[in-house]
Chain A
Amino acid sequence: DTAVSQTPKYLVTQMGNDKSIKCEQNLGHDTMYWYKQDSKKFLKIMFSYNNKELIINETVPNRFSPKSPDKAHLNLHINSLELGDSAVYFCASSPPRGEVTGELFFGEGSRLTVL
Chain B
Amino acid sequence: KQEVTQIPAALSVPEGENLVLNCSFTDSAIYNLQWFRQDPGKGLTSLLLIQSSQREQTSGRLNASLDKSSGRSTLYIAASQPGDSATYLCAVKTGGFKTIFGAGTRLFVKA
Contact = CB atoms under 8 A, between A and B. Distances in A.
Interface in B1-59: 31-32, 34, 36, 38, 41-46, 49, 51
Interface stretch (A12-20, A66-74, A79-87, A104-112): A104-112
Interface of A: 31, 33, 35, 40-45, 48, 50, 55-56, 90, 94, 97, 100-109, 111
Given A48-B97, A56-B98, A90 B103 contact: no
Interface of B: 31-32, 34, 36, 38, 41-46, 49, 51, 87, 89, 91, 93, 96-101, 103-104
Contacts, number: 60
A90 B101 CA distance: 13
Q: Interface centre among B32, B89, B99, B104, by most A CB within 10 Å?
A: B99
A56 B97 contact: yes
Contact of B99 (A45, A107, A108, A111): A45
Contacts of B49: 101-103
A41 B101 CA distance: 11
Given A40-B103, A101-B32, A101-B49, A106 B43 contact: yes
A104 B42 contact: no
Contacts of B43: 90, 106-109
Contact of B103 (A41, A50, A103): A41
A48 B78 CA distance: 36
Nearest to B93: A102
A16 to B, nearest CB: 27
A97 B98 CA distance: 12
A40 B87 CA distance: 12
A104 B97 contact: no
Contact of B44 (A55, A90, A97): A90
Contacts of A35: 101
A20 B101 CA distance: 25
7 contacts: A43-B91, A55-B97, A101-B51, A105-B46, A106-B43, A109-B43, A111-B41
B95 to A, nearest CB: 10
A42 B103 CA distance: 5
